[in-house]
């Protein structure tokens, strides 16, 4: 599933900024929040597609 690969990519990209945010870098914290919103959107899309697949069975 293409969306799952995108989700994995997003999570991998967040790691560096998350470490920077933990060290007090405010700009990195802003980037993490923005990226987490993207993760939420992709996860919701995956959830919808799974429900769609389940309902067609």
Structure-block tokens of residue 46 = 């995956």
Strands (E), 1-57: none
Q: pTM, whole model, 2 decimals? A: 0.82
Residue-level pLDDT at 16: 92
* Cα–Cα distances in angstroms (integers) from residue 57 to residues 50, 51, 53, in the given order: 11, 10, 7
Burial class from Cβ neighbours inside 10 Å (0-12, 13-18, 19+) for residue 38 reads middle
If one counts the domains in the chain, the total is: 1
3-56 pLDDT, tens digit per residue, is 999 999 999 999 999 999 999 999 999 999 999 999 999 999 999 999 999 998
Residue-number span of the structural domain to which 21 is assigned = 2-56
């Amino acid at each position: 599933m293409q969306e799952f690969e995108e989700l994995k990519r997003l999570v991998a990209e967040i790691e560096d900024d998350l470490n920077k945010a933990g060290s007090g870098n405010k700009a990195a914290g802003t980037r993490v929040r923005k990226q987490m919103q993207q993760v939420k959107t992709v996860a919701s899309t995956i959830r919808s597609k799974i429900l769609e697949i389940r309902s067609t069975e």
